[in-house]
Each structure stands twice: as C-alpha cells, then as structure tokens.
Copies of this chain bind each other. A is one copy, B any other.
Amino acid sequence: MTGDRRPGRPRSEATRRAILAAAIDELTERGYAQLSVEGIAARAGAGKQTIYRWWPSKADVVLDAMLDEAASLIAVPDEGSLAADLAGFLVDTFRQRGQRPVLVGLMAEALLDPVFAVQFRDRFLFGRRDALRTVLARAADRGEIAADVDPEMLLDIVFGVLWYRLLLDHAPLDEEAGRQLATLVVRAAR
C-alpha cells in the first residue's frame, strides 16, 4: 500500500541490467586492468553519467553484477559432521572457479581503494564468511571443536587458503584440494 514514489522519471531497470551485463562482459573479455567506465557505458548503450549516478566506481558496478547473479548461491551445508560440511562447502565454492577474473579484479580494486574495500568486505566476503561460521558453530555444539580454538582463526585458514590460491594461481583449487584442506582443518580443530 506504500505507493511512495519519488517524483521524476523512475530509474530504468533495463538500463541498470544492461550496465551490469556490459561490465561482466567487458571484464571477462578484456580483463579487469582494461576495464573502463567508458567501455562499459559504450557496450551498454548508456551514458557515462548514468553509471556515475548510481555507482561510485567501476568496481561497485562489478560487485553489484556479481551479487546480482550470485544472489543466495551460498549454501550452508548440514550433513552431521564438520568434515563432511567443510568438504561440501569447499567443493561447492571451488566449483565457481570460473569467476576467478572477476574476483581477482574486485580484490585488486579493494586493495587500491579503501572506500570500495568496505563494500567488498561487507557485501561480498562477509556473506560467505557468515555461512561458514554457522557450520563451525554447529560443529562446536557437537563438540568437534576444542574449547581453546578460536573459530575465527579457523575461518581465516579456510578463506586464507582459498584466496591465496585464487590470487596466486600457483596450486589447484579443485575437489581434491577441498577435501585435503577440510581434513587438515578438522584435525586442527581437534
């Protein structure tokens, strides 16, 4: 019953989507380093100002695009044991490896722009982190995690390895790696 419309022409949903799609396309085709607001606008058939009106930087466009398509892709597994849950989470996450260029670009931007870094952390990274934190909490309830173990450090181990391999690309990020890491984390927790 709201009907609280602001005056003036409403934002064009079609344009919004065209911009997000163009951003992803440009990024995967030419890489984050070559990504430009001008390029996105041109490919989307939009004016530059339309982008600047709604997003503070090109990285925010990309982040929005990611979140738009990956919405609620974060499953919280619950299979009864930490080992199974961890392996499930990691295998599931590693499966999305195709997004590497996007993720690497976003991280690069976050490293260069502190303002964007906050967005990146809060809207993207912490979402996944919260999911895994739930898994750990359940494991703790089942007594699978020793009292003297800080769950946050366990989270950092999981995501640390994940991002380290993602960024450096020096070692595989596949199912085998997921199972290996899960085993080690379970042992470390006790």
Binding site for B on A (CB under 8 A): 32-33, 104-105, 107-108, 110-113, 121, 125, 149-150, 152-154, 156-157, 159-165, 167-168, 170-171, 177, 180-181, 184-185, 187-188, 190
Contact = CB atoms under 8 A, between A and B. Distances in A.
A190 B33 CA distance: 43
Those 7 A-B pairs whose CB atoms lie nearest each other, nearest first: A160-B160, A160-B164, A188-B188, A108-B111, A160-B161, A184-B188, A33-B112
Contact of A121 (B105, B163, B168): B168
A184 B163 CA distance: 19
A153 B167 contact: no
A6 to B, nearest CB: 15
Given A185-B188, A187-B190, 14 more contacts: A104-B111, A107-B111, A149-B184, A152-B171, A153-B180, A156-B165, A157-B161, A157-B181, A160-B164, A164-B164, A184-B188, A187-B187, A187-B188, A188-B188
